[in-house]
Amino acid sequence: MTEQDGEQTGPVVRDKRRIDPITGKVREGVAASTPSAPAGGAGHEAQAQQLDDELSALEAELNERTADVQRVHAEYANYRKRVERDREATRDQATASVLTELLTVLDDIDRAKGHGEVVGGFKAVADSLESAVGKLGLEKFGEAGDEFDPTIHEALTHTESDDVTATTCVQVFQPGYRYGSRLIRPARVAVADPPNPAPPTPRPADPL
């Protein structure tokens, strides 16, 4: 060890022990180092609250997206139903138009049947046509003896008859046709009304 200018050179050892190993007393100027206490429960509560807030936000967003999906699904279902209704209405309208054009042919067949002219190959064609329009939903109506219904019958003549008790179709000039609930043509008929009832006998006046 050398000394230069009154200063000692070499390694310097600093004893930072709080208790003097020789005297056993607490040294002054040495700060007691104590470990810092953990933040405790407050930090855990704040973190838990943050997680709850994030979860609530996610649940709200999920509910909103679910409502959007359900709304789109309902709109699509309504759209499909509307398209199907429009398609069915268009198909019915087209079928009714075709059947209406065939009514004159069916009338000719009826007249030919009335004259006994539906025989041979013509009968086979007539039967095939009537079967085809029947499968399409065309329904023929109007028979003598039917009660007169102004919604489906067109009265061409009116007579009175003691043989009826209500207004009745007594002759069919032209049958009617309906397609489903759609009236294609009313039946043209002759109608018989019951006789007018005799007016009631006036009741004698009560004596005063």
Write the single-letter amino acid at 91: R
List Cβ neighbours of 156 (8 Å cut-off, separation of 6 or more): 173, 188, 189, 190
Is the pTM above the cut of 0.75? no
- Contacts (Cβ under 8 Å, ≥6 apart) of 129: 102, 105, 106, 109
pLDDT tens digit sequence for 92-137: 999 999 999 999 999 999 999 988 888 888 899 999 999 999 999 9
- Looking at residue 118, its pLDDT comes to 86
Q: Which domains does the chain have, with CATH numbers?
A: 137-196 (2.30.22.10)
Task: For residue 129, give both structure tokens.
Answer: 């046509």
CA distance 26 to 167: 132
What is the Cα–Cα distance from 132 to 95, expressed in whole angstroms? 12
Contact 188, 154 (CB under 8 A): yes
Burial track 132-149 (b if 16+ CB lie within 10 A, e otherwise): ebeeeebebbbeeebebe
Tell me: the pLDDT tens digits for 21-79?
677 666 665 544 444 545 556 778 888 888 888 888 899 999 999 999 999 999 999 99
> What pLDDT sits at residue 49?
84
